[in-house]
Amino acid sequence: MLNFQAFYLPGLLFLSTVALGFLVESAGRPYHQLLFNFHKLAALAGVALIILRLVGMDYFDAPSLIGLLPFLLAAVGTVSLFITGALMSIQADLNPVVLFFHRIGPVIITLCLAWAYFLL
């Protein structure tokens, strides 16, 4: 059984990343550099912390595919968020497909982690 108290801080970083994302978007383009950097750093810190917490757990010693699937999908969603965020920061004209995937990424991650919570 996973200790879900170990995931409070990464969850708080996830929520702050989403909130900062809304602030960055409301500030408009060009992005406000201080908000944008805090948004990126909160996302990176959350991902690094969740990886460190998951690697240190003994649940993944003998994983089943159904137990790993939500974590793998959440990881794919996280990687897509980093890629689309980088594309959004370097492109002057915003591609609506990139924006769509950047907005749907947190929803996918939340659904996958809720799925993992109910599986475990």
Q: Give the residue extent of every domain in the chain.
A: 4-119
> Contact, 47 vs 77, CB < 8 A?
no
Q: Give the whole-angstrom CA distance, residue 59 versus residue 104.
A: 29
Q: With bands split at pLDDT 50, 70 and 90, how would you rate the model's confidence at 16?
A: very high
In this prediction the pTM is 0.80
pLDDT at 42 over 90: yes
pLDDT at 60 over 60: no
Q: What is the pLDDT of residues 18-41, one digit of tens each?
A: 999 999 989 887 888 899 899 999
- Burial of residue 67, with CB atoms counted within 10 A of its CB: 0-12 exposed, 13-18 middle, 19 or more buried: middle
Q: What is the pLDDT of residues 69-81, one digit of tens each?
A: 888 898 899 999 9
> Contact, 88 vs 102, CB < 8 A?
yes
Mean pLDDT of the chain, nearest integer: 84
